[in-house]
Amino acid sequence: MRQNFVAGNWKMNLTLPEAQALTTELVQALGHTPAGQATPQVVICPPFPLLLGVHQLLGEAHNPALGAQNFHQKESGAYTGEVSAKQLQSVGVEYVILGHSERREHFREDDALLAQKLDAALKAGLKPIFCVGESLATREADETFDFIGQQLANGVFHLGKEDFSQVVIAYEPIWAIGTGKTASSAQAQEVHAFIRQQVASAYDQATADDTTILYGGSCNAQNARELFSQPDVDGGLIGGASLKAADFVAIIQSF
């Protein structure tokens, strides 16, 4: 279902008391949305050890909903240090980020592994937020569209239409992540439109029109409104600015 959507990726930040203080502020702020103003779907993605403590502060409305930043594709077993989809669900997780460039780069997660993780997430009933995005070198070589087309073809488009309808796509140009260098709204729109067109080719136009596509990369309270006003930008996957309640709430209110 296509919807206005903002996810906060806390990455490897915050202790439990800090995470609970941030969550309490967010829940209070979102609870005071003026009548008549539609609230976007909000997802917060804390590190594993904080998930349960954060979930205990979330309401029944699933908004904010809880997301994880990763999981292991096997259901259980001798995988020291890993976490399964079932374990995530048992502490209230509904969404999982997959394909983030930091996992691709630092943990060597390639398209083949990500395709397996995507299948495992859907099988377990977790909703994936699947990230794609090019490096600066790829952009400068004028290969952005080819590169993102390949990431989608190799990682996502093996899914049947029904499974694909559970997936949120996030476009995150690597050169914009944590750098303070945001894609311009025109650059973001151009790639989002391309992604939607790729979905239409892989499935059909109705599926493409129904896909939620987020922008991520130095999105903040100052630039979110401009980015979210683009016709194919349905919201954001927010890193640094999701760690401060006031900034994150301002982004949520930027539609």
Active site residues: 100, 172
The β-bridge partners of 215 are: 171, 236
Interacting residues of 225 by C-beta distance below 8 A, sequence separation 6+: 254
The 8-class DSSP code of residue 242 comes to G
- Please, are residues 147 and 138 in contact by the beta-carbon 8 Å criterion? yes
Instruction: List the one residue from 138, 218, 253, 254 that touches ligand G3H (CB under 6 A).
Output: 218
User: Does the annotation list 10 as a binding residue?
Assistant: yes
Instruction: List the one residue from 67, 99, 149, 217 that touches ligand G3H (CB under 6 A).
Output: 217
User: Does the annotation list 63 as a binding residue?
Assistant: no
Residue 120 Cβ vs ligand G3H, minimum distance, rounded to whole Å: 21
Q: Pattern 5-24, binding to ligand G3H, x per CB under 6 A?
A: ----x---------------
Instruction: List the one residue from 237, 249, 251, 252 that touches ligand G3H (CB under 6 A).
Output: 237
Is position 240 an interface residue for ligand G3H (rule: CB under 6 A)?
yes
**CA dist list (Å): 89 to 55, 187, 203:** 11, 36, 29
Residue 178 Cβ vs ligand G3H, minimum distance, rounded to whole Å: 4
User: Does the annotation list 123 as a binding residue?
Assistant: no
Interacting residues of 109 by C-beta distance below 8 A, sequence separation 6+: 99, 103, 117
Interacting residues of 131 by C-beta distance below 8 A, sequence separation 6+: 97, 98, 99, 100, 101, 169, 170, 171, 172, 216, 237
User: Does the annotation list 135 as a binding residue?
Assistant: no
Residues forming contacts to ligand G3H in the complex (CB under 6 A) are 9, 100, 172, 177-178, 216-219, 237-241
